[in-house]
A and B are shown apart, each in its own frame.
Chain A
Amino acid sequence: MTPLDRVTKLLKDNSYRDARQPFGIGSSTFQFDAVLTAERSLDLVILQDTTVGSIERMRRELLAFGRSLDVLGSRRTLTLVLAGQRIDSDIIEGLSQVCRVLTVAPSADDTKLRDALAVLLPLKLPEATALQGDWATEVRERISTDLSRVANSYLNAAEQGDAGVRHELRRRIDRALAGALS
């Protein structure tokens, strides 16, 4: 499996499909090795293996394609995925003016591959936990109902810091002892 194949597979596994090529814009026709797109999206993801293709030819093609899209008034956004040999950063800089450029090293394992393409992939949010409750609610959930009235006074006092809580504790103790100390 070439790096490009792995990219294609990963994207297709995440609801991308092959775009219908070639793209005819006016009199011009644009054809790339592989272009993917997704439903409910205006993305065009152009895949290019740097090891086998001609970078210079591809650069020209891409610039022309971008210009044509502007002229056409298309809102599609271009993403170029370069798999294989590293290429000059100058070229990548130039390409970045017209499209989003993602590079995939030939040695990339699955994690690195996924990292490289992350922006194209849906967020994989772990199981959403319950609402991050208010701290006071968290405490209330952990006490029995018979304690809730007492707890309220302490929870209010906690807003004044530990001195407030201590004051409340002392107040309650002193009140309990009031009358029994004579």
Chain B
Amino acid sequence: MSALLSELIVTNFRSIRGTISIPLDAPIILVHGPNGVGKTSIATALELALTGDVAALRRSDDNVRDHLVNRSAETAEITLKMLGGVRPDTKMVVSRGSIQGRALLDADRQAFYSDRCYLSQSTLGRLLDIYQSPASRDPTNTPLTNFVKSLLGLDQLEALIDGLHPAGDKRRMAKLSTDFDRAENLQGRLQGEQREIDALERREASELAGLRSKLVPLKEALALPDDLDQAATLLEEAEGDNQLAREEARVSGIVSLQIQWADLSSDDAPIDIVGLELAESGAAAALSAHREGPGKRLADAIASIKDMFPDVADPDQVDPEEARKSALGLVIREISRLDTIMTAASAASHSVTTIDQQLRQFLARLAVLNEQVESVAGDTASLGTALAGLLPHIHDEICPVCRRDFAEVPGVNLRTHVAEEVARLVGRSERLGEVLAERKQVQDQIAQAERGRSVDQSRALPQADLTTHRQRLSTLRTAKAEFEALAGTAEGGAELRRRHAAAASDLGRARLRDSTATEIRASLANIALSLELPAVADSEPTDEAISRLIVAAEAARDRAKTHADYRRTAAEMIAQIRSKEADKVARGAEAQDRKLRLERLVAAQRTVRRERDAANRLRVAASEARTAIVGRVFNDRLNKIWRDLFVRLAPNEPFVPAFVLPSKDDEAISALLETVHRDGGTYGRPGAMLSSGNLNTAALTLFLALHLSVHPELPWLVLDDPVQSMDELHVAQFAALLRTLAKREGRQILISIHERQLFDYLTLELSPAFVGDKLITVEISKSAEGSTEYTTNVLGFEPDRLVA
């Protein structure tokens, strides 16, 4: 692309007040003006029109967008025209904080312009920083490294490489994403479960086959249907019909008959039932005779005390002698008890009589004392005291109470009269005290006697009780005499009872034995019938019949038992088979679910693998891109161009700056500088080896080298005041370089200069040298009012006056 900038019109932008229109359609445009008149504003306006941004200024001030409009105006306008570009022109309008308009360059070219065409003050500052910053221990974090990284986009590439690093390794992935970790674990678990279930299925299937084959003979034996449900129902019903229990009962029935029979047949003595009956009736007669005679006396005697002792032994029920003795004992104890009670009661009655007599005496004395108290208690000691209180108030014969003259009473004066009366009252009061003390004593004695009387009264028995006790004593004494008299006869009664009991027992046993034998034979006959055996004939001995029946019954029981065993086994097997089949069905549902989950997970894992694969490939690509970019930039070519440029500007400087070339591709990017002597050999960093003037030259030439080291996408160089001081640069050499760049390398160069001398020199040196060559100079200044003034001069070629 051979685009040529052709015109720039700037209105009220930053330092520029008013409108300036700068023609640009020349290989070289020189802008001159003292500091502060707007040289940088022109460069910035150009940048804004081309890239839509003011990146170079923004590096030093984030808020620069707010200050783009000149203080005197509300909006700024920039119009840029271009020949040979995609679009011929653009117009940007800037008002507070907002920029409207479309940049002239596309995104890629914007970056190219910012990085490699425009040497702004801030870029130059950064380049100089590179030399002036102290040596850093970390070569990956030096100003040069950072400059190079941002220039090449290596920060983003390294972010990509580092950020995608986890994709290469499962452990790193697990660290990055907990879901990834969980998915890995889940898959392992599900697969493990699947394997376990498969093994279980195989085991179960073989067990099921074994059960089925074992069931076949049982089914035949029990005549069961093939359908297991029906078979199970049949077996359940058969369980209710308890044949085995019946058979066992029959066997034990026969066995118990056998035992009974053995008992009967063991005592072989002949049975004389008639004799036994005679003996029994004799004994009964003797017993009843006894009961009518002495037995009755005893019974009567015992009956007489039955009221008093309800639990006394009945002589008809127990041994009469025992009954007599115990009754006698009871009677004697009761008599003794009653005697004691009677004696105590009579003593208490006597004591009550005595106390009553004393009480009567005490009461009479109390009455006398009461009378004395009443007679004495007419005047009281208190009256005496009151009168004594009057004595001090009696001074003559006039009564202080009634105001009468006591002199009317002859023979005694008032004072004496009152004193005597007081003495009399006090004497009577002492007597009353003595009488009251005696009365108190008598009252105490009465109370004591009454307490003693009530105690004795409670001990004495009422008359009705005394009568009852006496009647009982009489009854008891009669019974006692009777019991003592019957001592001999009672023993005889007991003996008669024993004999009768023995005779009755013998008779009972004989009768029972006779009937049992008959019953045993009848039972045997029944059993034979139920076993469908030949009947028990009368001639067949009982022992033999029993043996025959036991054998048959036991055989029947064994058959039933075997049958029951079969049924039980078959039922168990069928239950097992059915349960296993049910389990299998249940497992089937679970297995289906697991299978679905596993498939889902495996599919997701495939996606994850694809993602990781993509990430890895991208990482490799980024890594390669980094290597390529680094390799392309830091190569001999860059150093070669840089050297060429540097040598042109500083022909006498033996040390030439150079990049230390990267040795390995994968290393973290670290850009380092060194100096190379023209005669060979590498030396220290440029900051240490070069003078400040040559450092400026190094910075400038590094920028130009970066521009020249790539294909000239945009053939422009915009240098904003690159030379701060003439002394720092070999001006003649710089001019020659600019001329070479413009006229031989086809670059359009816009350079602003603040130093007049340099401007003049460059104007001369860069004069058009052939037909069609052109130089534009612009001089900017400020009027007294502060508005921007400018003059432009377009120099065309004219043949030099000196022909050479």
Which residues from chain A sit less than 8 Å from chain B, CB to CB?
A: 19-20, 23, 25, 35, 37, 39-42, 44, 69, 72-77, 79, 96, 99-100, 102, 111-112, 115-116, 118-120, 122-126, 128-139, 141-144, 147, 150-151, 154-155, 157-166, 168-170, 172-174, 176-182
Contact = CB atoms under 8 A, between A and B. Distances in A.
Given A136-B156, A139-B618, A123 B183 contact: no
A102 B180 CA distance: 71
Given A77-B764, A77-B765, A40 B176 contact: no
Contacts of B152: 132, 135
Task: Give the one of B607, B622, B709 with max A CB within 10 A.
Answer: B622
A23 B802 contact: yes
Given A19-B804, A158-B163, A180-B183, A118 B651 contact: yes
Contacts of B624: 142
A177 B180 contact: yes
Given A158-B159, A165-B160, A177-B604, 4 more contacts: A74-B801, A119-B737, A168-B163, A176-B611
Contacts of A115: 647, 651, 678
Contacts of A42: 767, 769, 800
23 contacts: A41-B769, A42-B767, A102-B651, A111-B678, A115-B647, A123-B644, A124-B644, A130-B711, A135-B629, A136-B156, A154-B160, A158-B160, A168-B163, A169-B163, A173-B180, A176-B608, A177-B183, A179-B604, A180-B600, A180-B605, A181-B179, A181-B182, A181-B186
B158 interface: yes
B167 to A, nearest CB: 6
Interface string B712-729: 110000000000000000
Nearest to B641: A125
Given A20-B803, A162-B163, A177-B180, A123 B745 contact: yes
A99 B770 CA distance: 21
A39 B770 contact: yes
A-B pairs with lowest CB-CB distance, top 9: A165-B163, A135-B153, A180-B604, A142-B621, A100-B732, A138-B625, A162-B162, A176-B607, A162-B163
Contacts of B737: 119
Nearest to A166: B163
B157 interface: yes
Contacts of A182: 597
B600 A150 contact: no
Contacts of A72: 801-802
A118 B153 contact: no
B733 A100 contact: yes
Contact of B160 (A125, A139, A172, A179): A139
Interface stretch (B59-67, B398-406, B632-640): B632-640
Contact of B159 (A79, A143, A162): A162
B617 interface: yes
B249 interface: no
Nearest to A100: B732
B160 A126 contact: no
A147 to B, nearest CB: 5
Contacts of B176: 166, 169-170, 173
Given A129-B632, A129-B711, A173-B179, A180 B736 contact: no
Given A166-B176, A174-B177, A150 B614 contact: yes
Contacts of B162: 162, 165
Contact of A177 (B166, B608, B644, B736): B608
B183 A40 contact: no
B135 to A, nearest CB: 27
Given A39-B770, A42-B767, A142-B625, A132 B633 contact: yes
B711 A40 contact: no
A173 B608 contact: yes
B668 to A, nearest CB: 13
Contacts of A129: 632, 637, 709-711
A143 B733 contact: no
A31 B743 CA distance: 29
B764 A75 contact: yes
A135 B733 contact: no
B173 interface: yes
A162 B159 CA distance: 4
A176 B648 CA distance: 60
A81 to B, nearest CB: 11
A138 B628 contact: yes
A76 B804 contact: yes
A20 to B, nearest CB: 6
B773 interface: yes
A144 B712 CA distance: 29
A67 to B, nearest CB: 13
B615 A169 contact: yes
B736 A20 contact: no
Q: Kindly name the residue among B608, B618, B678, B804 whose own CB sees the greatest number of chain A CB atoms within 10 A.
A: B804
Nearest to A137: B108
Interface string B731-751: 011011100110111000000
Contact of B164 (A44, A128, A161, A169): A169
Given A69-B802, A142-B625, A135 B603 contact: no
